[in-house]
Amino acid sequence: MADSLEGKSVAIFLAPMGTEEVEFTDPKEAVEDAGASVDVVGAETGDVETVNGDINPGGSYEVERTFSEVSVEDYDGLVVPGGCVGADQLRADDDAVGFVHDFFETEKPLCVICHGPWTLVEADVVDGRTLTSFHSLETDIRNAGGEWVDEEVVVDEGLVTSRNPDDLDAFCDKVVEEIEEGPHEDRETEDV
């Protein structure tokens, strides 16, 4: 995987609080190790605290660019980590949801783990897709028209999803693989 993403640029979301630390750090490290440049994108620039297991304090990480400062055209891939509180904040942020929707429309790899698929539901891009997530989102995904499956990692035409931190090895491998492959021009998108 070394240098397989050389010249590629990836955005990774970081919520104002409550992002699950390893779901942020592991994918970020994986794409950086593969040669990609990474921008940490959030609602406001500055340092934010992550969590471990949703309730224990994690480390502090810097949001480098805001949703309003970036464009989907700037990136070859997008990663949305989970964490119950963090994902809930992201799905309530119109700019974050708009970015996810617009990124999905580009047909470039969109990689989401754990509670992160809440942003997919809110962005109205789940209908007709097969995906996985933290088990408590199953009903939300089905109600949005998606097919929820209980699998380690699911890839549906460049949409990469995983259930929880236990799936990070498989998730990170697929993130790198899909970003290396590039856009899925056969992905059918619906205008909303």
Q: Note if 114 is an active site residue.
A: yes
Task: Please count the structural domains in the chain.
Answer: 1
101, 115, 172, 184: the catalytic one is: 115
CA 119 to chain CA mean position, Å: 9
User: What is the residue-level pLDDT of the chain in tens, covering all 192 positions?
Assistant: 568 899 999 999 999 999 999 999 999 999 999 999 999 999 999 999 999 998 999 999 999 999 999 999 999 999 999 999 999 999 999 999 999 999 999 999 999 999 999 999 999 999 999 999 999 999 999 999 999 999 999 999 999 999 999 999 999 999 999 999 988 766 454 444
Determine, yes or no, domain membership for 156.
Answer: no
Determine, yes or no, domain membership for 71.
Answer: yes
N-term to C-term CA, the chain? 36
Determine, yes or no, domain membership for 16.
Answer: yes
Q: Note if 135 is an active site residue.
A: no
Question: Which residue segment(s) compose the domain that 57 sits in?
Answer: 9-112+166-181
User: What is the domain-level CATH number for residue 97?
Assistant: 3.40.50.880
Determine, yes or no, domain membership for 70.
Answer: yes
Determine, yes or no, domain membership for 18.
Answer: yes
Determine, yes or no, domain membership for 78.
Answer: yes
114, 135, 172, 184: the catalytic one is: 114
